Amino acid sequence: MAMFRVIIFLCLAAFAMPLFAAGKPAPSVEVVRIDGPIIPVSAEFLDKALGKARDDRAEALIILLDTPGGLDTSMRQMVKAIIASPVPVVTYVSPSGARAASAGVFLMMASRVAAMAPGTNIGAAHPVQMEGGKMDEVMATKVENDAAAYIRSLAQKNGRDAAWAEDSVRKSVSISEQEALKLKVIDLVADNLDDLLNKLDGWKVNTDSGVRVLRTKGAKTERYEMNARLRLLKAISDPNVAYALMMIGIIGLFFELSNPGLILPGVVGGISIILAFYSFQTLPVNYAGMLLILLAIVFFIAEVKVTSYGLLAVAGVVSLLLGSIMLIESPLPYMRISLKLILPTVATLTLFFLVLVRVALKSHRAKATTGSEGLIGETGEARTDIAPEGDIYLQGAHWSAYSDEPVAKGEKVVVVKVEGLRLKVRKTG
């Protein structure tokens, strides 16, 4: 009887085990891609991704990183979020050809696990002044020491080579993935995401709640993408896009002010200007450049009203070109406006303002062709002698007319004044 009970228990246990296993959710890993300059949009996106990973109780959040660097404030915000995250963050420089430069090095040092794909590099984290120009020696030393201490503390926290991390700031050193692995700057090299997940399985990471063992082999990966709002804000944060938006805004507002009531140019121009100014708050804008652009528009308008023999137009072109070049000034190439955009834009805007303003001014100066004003200067024929009054034939109708000089019947006359239905004329000769 006892043996029978044991057999029944074992059979029930065998049936129950798959049920318990089925009830246990498969591990999941959140994956996000952060590429391009590190800007406020990047920080907001990472914060949202970490929140979702936390809510989903993900095993880890993997950042696929490819960045040339970016803003110090945004980078520090992201570093704080990575350190405070209860979900371990794995930063993976990928795909082949990607890099973790400048601000990207700090993100790698802050992550619980740092990985790289073959054919990638890391380094060159020396701080630069985003507004362009050179910092004075004292300020440059302060900024460098602050960045060096910061990256050293991040490297030490996660057991990485703090000396190399400091050199990346002070000496702008940069190394390949194999050199980084050898120097213990990173934790591992993985060929692709699947390889990374396999290598991370069983990896022990330190968190604020203690040591945690990752279960990533065969884990379900969930890609977290930017929403439409963040994609829009990221797109307009590009210096070239910001510059184009400002030019569109200027043209739109000019159209609306010169032709009140059109509405559409004013709406498009207003929205473009607002979006441009949003972009400018994340970019190293030189407001002297912006003033030069506005001064150029003044020069173009003045050119058609003042006899300058083209000097004002030339001044406008020079001012617009210099203003465009100076508008966003930075030692970092990805933070500057491309000359390939500036030159055609300057040429197009110069032509636009000169042609448009000249046509508008010409239409204002043109002689009226309707109503009583349109009769002045018209040529008619005297139907009677005018001494000093008589009749003329003008525009298919008979008119009463008078003249300060005698006009014989049949002579051609020109209208010089309109007084109601009575015209003042003179001989054409």
Active site (catalytic) residues: 102, 142
Question: Amino acid identity of 211?
Answer: V
- Residue labelled with tokens 């350190």: 83
Neighbours of 97 (CB within 10 A): 12
Torsion of CA 194, 29, 198, 27, to 10 degrees: -130
Query: 25, exposed or middle or buried, with CB in 10 Å at 0-12, 13-18, 19+?
Result: exposed
Phi, psi of 385 (to 5 degrees): -65, 140
179 vs 182: CA distance, rounded Å: 5
**Bridge partners of 417?**
424
Smallest CA-to-CA distance from 248 within 281, 270, 279 is with 270
Helix (H) or strand (E) holding 294: helix 287-303
Phi, psi of 70 (to 5 degrees): 165, -155
Whether the Cβ atoms of residue 103 and residue 75 lie closer than 8 Å to each other: yes
116 vs 185: CA distance, rounded Å: 10
Smallest CA-to-CA distance from 220 within 25, 21, 28, 24 is with 28
Sign of the CA dihedral 187, 189, 193, 197? Answer: negative
Torsion of CA 411, 412, 416, 420, to 10 degrees: 80
289 vs 280: CA distance, rounded Å: 12
Residues, the chain: 429
- Residue labelled with tokens 């001014």: 361
